Amino acid sequence: MTDVTIMGMLAGNLPSIIGIIIGGLCIAVGVHFVPVGGAPAAMAQATGIGTGTVQLAAGSGLTGLLAAGYMYMVMSAGGAEVGMSQIALICATGAVGAMIMISVTMLVGNWVYIYGVGVPPASAKRDYDPITKDPQAPYVAAGTVGQGLPTVCFVSGAIGGLLGGLGGSLIYCMLMWVNADPAISSIFAIGIFVVNAVLPSYNIQGTIEGFHDPKFKRVPKAIVACFVASLLCGIIAVIIPSAAMLAGGA
């Protein structure tokens, strides 16, 4: 029987652990880009999508993860080895899938706000939209901090979806390098994704409009927290499958 230690497992899978950390940090930063309005937005009293941070991050990220899983299967068909160039394409596929999901969500949300509620998308946190330069104050309903998803929120959300999908896809690919099992890799990838979505949600504390929101300046704190969490998750995700395969071989 081959003598394999925990340190040997970690050293042998160091590139995968580093990739998991990078993916976790992409998710953490991406969460801050997604415009989340929570309950106030559901009542058209705040900008953003009317649900929680984790739900939006998980929705867009897991959509990207599904797209990445399918692309990984295509790339590895016939026993072909998946290298760095293939992983780049897989991650791009996951990023696009997440961007499509979050963009459609924001678009339909704006349809509800504009044609259902009868309010134009506007933010009370900026006098002018940072992208279109359109004035915001004349369109903000009295007693609210804005409504709908102005252009800057939409663009920010698409960037957040890209980063979330990219991070989730990278984590999945790294886990496939470790155990080559799609089911186990998916379970661990979803778990690591949720961890890196929950931590930034505490950093945001409820609502955020996107990269133009003052709360976006809290990103460094989330990066530190998610770096530690991703490192621990990466170590666990490497040790458990490796130990299981070792026990099976014994």
Tens digit of pLDDT for each residue in 150-190?
Answer: 999 999 999 998 998 899 899 988 888 888 788 888 888 88
N- to C-terminal Cα separation, the chain: 7
Domain boundaries defined on the chain: 46-236
- Over 50: is that where the pLDDT of 98 sits? yes
Work out the burial of residue 11: count CB atoms within 10 Å of its CB; fewer than 13 is exposed, 13-18 middle, 19 or more buried. Answer: exposed
Q: Please tell me the predicted confidence (pLDDT) of residue 2.
A: 43
Residues in a beta bridge with 148? 47
Q: What letter would DSSP give residue 127?
A: S
Contact residues for 160 (Cβ-Cβ < 8 A; gap 6+): 30, 31, 32, 33, 34, 57, 60, 102, 210
Distance, CA of 117 to CA of 111 (rounded, Å): 9
115-129 confidence digits (pLDDT tens): 998 889 998 888 898
Does 3 score more than 50 pLDDT? no
Angle between helix 151-179 and helix 219-249 axes, rounded to 10 deg: 20
State residue 243's pLDDT score.
58
Distance separating alpha carbons of residues 173 and 68, to the nearest angstrom: 8
- The contacts of residue 142 (CB under 8 Å, 6+ apart) are none
Residue listed under structure tokens 């890799």: 185
121 and 144 Cβ atoms separated by less than 8 Å? no
Least confident segment among 5-9, 157-161, 209-213:
5-9
Least confident interval from 96-100, 112-116, 142-146: 142-146
Task: Give residue 36's pLDDT.
Answer: 87
CA distance 48 to 15: 37
pLDDT number for residue 121: 92
Residue 47 bridge partners (DSSP) = 148
- Token pair belonging to 83: 């290298």
The whole-number pLDDT of residue 1 equals 37
Do 203 and 222 meet the contact criterion of CB atoms below 8 Å apart?
yes
What's the token pair of residue 17? Answer: 């652990």
User: Do residues 40 and 207 touch, judged by C-beta distance below 8 A?
Assistant: yes
Q: How far is CA 168 from CA 3, 19, 22, 88, 149, in A?
A: 33, 11, 10, 13, 25
Is the pTM higher than 0.75? The answer reads yes
Q: Each residue of 38-95: pLDDT tens digit?
A: 888 888 888 888 887 777 777 777 788 888 888 888 887 766 677 777 888 888 998 9
